[in-house]
């Protein structure tokens, strides 16, 4: 069992309070490789940005308690050794059961998400309240979800073909009754590669900012979370297809819409797909350029600075630079 404070981590309470007051969002970044994690921390150190490291239940199970905790500690040690005091949270992304959240908390996570969005409203409240009571007794913060995002969160998980916008009136009721510390809502973002459906004229619809505004008016200071906000760079999609991949259609969330949301009560924005396709595209390219390579370092060492470049851009969009 690990105590997150001993790993140099913090929960999201003060992190979100500051983000709400100053009108920016904290980047919440999924990682699946060491190169990706190092690229994140390189960017965070350069930009002096707070960060939330996202780990899915699948990855947590694959790595185990020990490896997950020590990777988080390496990240905080790197920041400390650079002479900086930058807040880092380790967050369970899309925990689906009470047991998954308990396992994460015992494994040193400082924040957990309980995703009961597919449950009936009252069952979602009950599950979130149960997780919140357990987590708060251990000074761990809890994110819940209301409303359904189209698409799969990651390979090996179930997805949906339909989106369901969050009802803002129900969201206020949920916040007041569930005990959660932040709430992920659906305002038009989406998991996966197609995050928006273009209009007939080819333009993209706006996110439903009115939902954000209503919740903010009724619950001032309460942090909102957005998932499925990757931009989906066409450069990387083309690179994948040019080097043996096959991705047919992608539509990302425009950067300007993400930035606007960050000024309207959104304190945490999740980015997963952009990191995956950046790593995959450049791995395919490098292996094509070096077909005789037998050492995986031929591409892993080159991926890290490319990841850093991606996350520097995300920090800029969310406005979190120099906020530590």
Q: Give the catalytic positions in this structure.
A: 93
Written as six digits, the tokens of 296 are 């995986």
**Region class of 138: left (phi > 0), else alpha (psi between -120 and 50), else beta:** alpha
Residues in contact with 47: Cβ distance below 8 Å, sequence separation at least 6, in sequence order: 312, 315, 316, 320, 321, 322
Structure tokens at 177: 């009754």
Token pair of 165, please?
């916008």
As beta bridge partners, residue 92 has 55, 112
DSSP string, 118-153: TS-HHHHHHHHHHHHHHHHTTT-EEEEEESB-SB-S
Q: Rounded to an integer, what is the distance from CA 293 to the centroid of its chain? A: 33
Kindly state the tokens that stand for 73: 């500690």
């Amino acid at each position: 069992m690990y105590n997150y404070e001993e790993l140099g981590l913090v929960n999201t309470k003060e992190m979100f309070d500051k983000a709400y007051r100053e009108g920016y969002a904290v980047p919440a970044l999924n990682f699946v490789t060491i190169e990706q994690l190092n690229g994140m921390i390189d960017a965070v150190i350069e930009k002096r940005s707070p960060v939330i490291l996202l780990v899915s239940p699948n990855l947590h199970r694959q790595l185990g308690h020990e490896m997950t905790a020590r990777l988080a500690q390496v990240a905080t040690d790197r920041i400390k050794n650079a002479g900086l005091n930058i807040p880092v949270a380790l967050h369970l992304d899309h925990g689906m059961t009470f047991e998954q959240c308990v396992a994460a908390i015992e494994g040193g996570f400082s924040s957990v998400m309980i995703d009961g969005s597919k449950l009936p409203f009252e069952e979602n409240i009950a599950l979130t309240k149960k997780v919140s009571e357990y987590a708060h007794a251990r000074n761990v913060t809890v994110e819940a979800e209301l409303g359904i995002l189209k698409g799969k969160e990651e390979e090996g998980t179930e997805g949906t073909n339909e989106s369901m916008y969050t009802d803002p009136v129900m969201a206020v009721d949920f916040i007041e009754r569930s005990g959660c510390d932040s709430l992920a809502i659906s305002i038009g973002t989406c998991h996966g590669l197609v995050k928006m459906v273009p209009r007939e004229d080819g333009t993209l619809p706006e996110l439903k900012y009115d939902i954000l505004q209503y919740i903010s008016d009724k619950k001032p200071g309460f942090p909102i979370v957005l998932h499925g906000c990757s931009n989906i760079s066409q450069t990387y999609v083309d690179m994948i297809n040019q080097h043996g991949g096959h991705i047919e259609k992608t539509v990302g969330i425009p950067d300007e819409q993400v930035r606007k949301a960050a000024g309207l009560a959104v304190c945490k924005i999740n980015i997963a797909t952009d990191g995956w396709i950046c790593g995959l595209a450049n791995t395919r390219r490098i292996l094509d350029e070096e077909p005789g390579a037998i050492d995986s370092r031929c591409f892993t060492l080159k991926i890290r600075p490319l990841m850093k470049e991606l996350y520097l851009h995300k920090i800029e969009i969310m406005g979190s630079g120099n906020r530590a």
